[in-house]
Every structure is written in C-alpha cells, then in structure tokens.
Copies of this chain bind each other. A is one copy, B any other.
C-alpha cells in the first residue's frame, strides 16, 4: 500500500469512488448528482494544495485532498478530506491517508488541521480522527440529512500541529 501524488491517469478509478460516496449521501455533504467535471474540480487540488491516492499495484483504494482551510488571516489552518473504496474499508486506508495529510500539513508549517463537516453518525471516521488527535470542537445539530437516520449533526473537528 503506497500513497503517492494523484495523476490524471488515476481519475477513472478515483471518480467512481467519489461518485459512490456522493450518491450514498451518508458521509459527505456533496451534490449526489455532481458531474465528473464538477467532481474533478472539487477533488483535485491545485498547488499549494495536494491530492494523493493510495495504491496497491495499479489499483486505487482511496484518495485524500489537502490544502488551506480559509484565506488571509485564516490561512495558517489546513484542512483535508478522505475517500476509501467501498470494498477497501476497514483496512487502515483512511487512517494512513489521514496520517499522510497531518504530516504534509506539519511539514508545510500549518498551525492546525480543521475538518469542517464530519457526519456525526460516521463513527468510523470520527474514531479514526480522534485516535489521531483531533477533537470535536462543536456539532451543528441536524445539519446533515442522512438517508436512513434522518437529520444528524455535523462535527467540526480540529487538531493542533
């Protein structure tokens, strides 16, 4: 399992992962009907941000994007997002991507990393982030319409670097 910079040749594997996640509507506040172009714009970060993929041989198991959370006086805080293919979950892919993003942000001198909208019911993600040192700063009540659970909260999470 290797993490390396995203290349355009990875897109035919990254897009279906992202599309499945957007359509499931249970972990990301993304448009479930987004086009491939919109998804590319959303996921592939121009410098100084970075998008990476986790690969085993030629297969993409997951991807992460990372960059600056806000501009100007907020630009010392980073952010990141992570996606893992449905059949590659529970194997530490997300944890490895999150560790990668933390290292990347630390090396670039960011003071912290903020996640703006972690779905409260996505226990797998919340517990990975907590294990890696993030804490829940607050939860916006009912801000995410989960397809089976109804409206659940969106956590804002933060880790100082």
Contacts and interface: CB of A to CB of B under 8 A. Distances in A.
Interface of A: 22, 25-26, 28-32, 34, 69-77, 111-112, 114, 116-117, 136-147, 151, 154, 156, 158, 160
Contact of A156 (B75, B112, B137, B144): B137
B29 A142 contact: no
Contacts of A25: 72-73
A146 B32 CA distance: 38
B71 A145 contact: no
Contacts of A30: 71-72
A114 to B, nearest CB: 6
Nearest to A77: B143
A34 B76 CA distance: 17
Interface centre among A32, A140, A151 (most CB of B within 10 A): A140
B73 A146 contact: yes
Contacts of A111: 142, 151
Contact of A72 (B28, B70, B77, B140): B28
A62 to B, nearest CB: 20
A137 B154 CA distance: 11
A142 B146 CA distance: 31
Given A31-B72, A72-B25, A140 B114 contact: yes
Nearest to A26: B73
Contacts of A116: 116
Going nearest first, the 10 A-B pairs with the smallest beta carbon separation are A138-B138, A29-B74, A29-B70, A137-B138, A31-B71, A73-B145, A25-B73, A31-B72, A77-B143, A32-B72
